[in-house]
């Protein structure tokens, strides 16, 4: 698909940009968008909780996550000062 409809939502998961449309995930490859497997939306078991500067982070293998209201985890940049 060369263009995605405006209804497609861009989401950043694990540092990669995906486009969500009607329950399918797309990624740009060259000049087209292709359907890809749904990305892993939550960190695997073994993550640790870190409360820092008034915010809660989940840390696993050097990656930092925060939990959205809907329960999904999103990867975030390492907090300044850590």
- Contact indicator for 20, 27 with CB cutoff of 8 Å: no
Instruction: Say yes or no: 45 and 35 in one domain.
Output: no
Residue 57 buriedness (CB in 10 A; 0-12 / 13-18 / 19+): buried
Residue 82 sits in which domain range?
Answer: 41-82
pTM of the entire predicted model: 0.50
- Give yes or no: residues 58 and 82 share one domain: yes
Query: Averaged over 31-35, what is the pLDDT?
Result: 93
Closest CA to 74 of 17, 9, 4, 21: 17
pLDDT at 13 over 80: no
Question: Are 45 and 76 contained in the same domain?
Answer: yes
For residues 54-70, give the mean pLDDT.
85
pLDDT band at 40 (very low <50, low <70, confident <90, very high): low
- How many domains, the chain? 2
């Amino acid at each position: 698909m060369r263009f995605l409809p405006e209804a497609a939502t861009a989401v950043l998961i694990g540092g990669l940009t995906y486009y969500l449309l009607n329950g399918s995930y797309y990624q740009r490859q060259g000049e087209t968008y292709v359907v890809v497997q749904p990305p892993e939306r939550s960190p695997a078991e073994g993550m640790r909780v870190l409360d820092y500067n008034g915010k809660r982070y989940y840390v696993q293998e050097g990656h930092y996550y925060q939990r959205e209201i809907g329960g999904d985890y999103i990867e975030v940049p390492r907090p300044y000062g850590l």
